[in-house]
Amino acid sequence: MSGAPLLGSSPAFALVLRLIEKLAKLSAPVLIEGETGTGKELAARAIHYGGNRCDQPFVPINCGAFPDSLFENELFGHVKGAYTDARADQPGLVVAADSGTLFLDEVDALTPKAQVSILRFLQDGTFRAVGSRTERRADVRIVAASNADLDSLAGSGAFRSDLLFRLRILNLRLPPLRERGDDALLLARAFFDTCKRQHDCQVSELDESSCQWFSRYRWPGNVRELEGLIYREAMICDDPILQLTAPVTLSSERRGGGDRRMVGDFKDLPYSIARSRVLEHFDRQYLSGLMNHAGGNVTHAARFAGKERRALGKLLKKHGLNGREPGRL
């Protein structure tokens, strides 16, 4: 897939685009916050390429991808002999991003030790490669992103308040797709056109009348979920016109009274048992619709739902729902 474009005409998103234009002209750190799938990396790239560092490197790093023992090495590099296998000097990502932008994605995943390392670099732009006694300086703009509630994490001590203050000198909040009005249809058209160009799709037209449910759906995976839906349905469609069916969860809600009737069926049961059965029914309905939209892919479904993949896998197993791994049919 091509990645979700920064495209939208809703008032909420127009405000985002205007703010990105302003942030791009500045050099202070930026913290981008928003739900999963709202386009935080795309916003970070827009800030970088819209500013005076646009001819310099944009270097992304997923803060949750490296164990604590390797993070400083990845970020600051090492010198020859720093450890057993360090046979030569190896520059880190800070050096690679010098004069440009370092994008810290999922910054909430930083360990306490890694948070200290980032904080020290933010304070004066200096660092030491692992095993080196020499302090170096790099001119790097930091842009960070998170879909977690960093204020709550800071309140609980899981994220350093002083680091949060330094990262949030400039702040950008991306609205969820459900708050962007008709932008979902606008994006669907763009994804559809891109999919047709990139793939040998038999489908030639998107039936926009079949997209009326967009405005009633909550889009737990936001723009990424919409992109996955369009690409998946367009590539497997055997008709010249693509019609999009509402999710199972939304269809169940529209039938009306289903859950109320179910609750009524349990009126003679003790509260705790009735509540447990209602919640179980909700879980099955939601998970079934979620997996349908994710094409059975557990990893994608976890992203759409904003849950850890392992936790979602346990829920699916509990309710007897099967999924598949990426690359497996």
> Where among 140, 175, 210 does a domain terminate?
175
Residue 145 above 60 pLDDT?
Answer: yes
Query: Are 32 and 143 within one domain?
Result: yes
Is there a single domain that holds both residue 32 and residue 50?
Answer: yes
Residues 187, 158 within the same domain: no
Q: Is residue 5 domain-resident?
A: no
62-97 tens-digit pLDDT: 998 888 778 888 899 877 866 767 778 788 899 999
Same domain, 279 and 219: yes
CA 50 to chain centre: 22
Structural domain containing residue 121: 11-175
Tally of CB atoms within 10 A around 232: 17
Q: What does pTM read for this prediction?
A: 0.75
Of 40-49, 80-89, 142-151, 255-264, the least confident:
255-264
**Above 80 in pLDDT, residue 229?**
yes
- Is residue 326 included in any domain, yes or no? no
- Out of 142, 159, 175, pick the residue that ends a domain: 175
Residue 130 domain flag: yes
CATH number, residue 65? 3.40.50.300
Residue 329 lies in a domain: no
For residue 2, tell me if it sits in a domain.
no
**245 and 305 part of one domain:** yes
| Residue 255, domain CATH | 1.10.8.60
320 Ramachandran zone, left/alpha/beta (phi>0; psi -120 to 50): left
Helix axes of 271-293 and 222-236: crossing angle, nearest 10 degrees: 60
Shared domain for 150 and 189, answered yes or no, is: no
Do 61 and 103 reside in the same domain of the chain?
A: yes
Whether residue 214 is found in the same domain as residue 312:
yes
Residue 325 belongs to a domain: no
From 154, 175, 196, give the residue that closes a domain: 175
Does residue 193 share a domain with residue 140?
A: no
**In-domain check, residue 198:** yes
**145 with 20, same domain?**
yes
If asked whether residues 195 and 160 sit together in one domain, one would say: no
Q: What is the total count of domains within the chain?
A: 2
Q: For residue 246, is it within any domain?
A: yes
Indicate if the pLDDT at residue 208 is higher than 70. Answer: yes
Taking only the tens place, the pLDDT of each residue in 257-292 is 445 545 555 556 666 666 776 777 777 778 888 887
Q: Let me know whether 135 and 219 are in one domain.
A: no
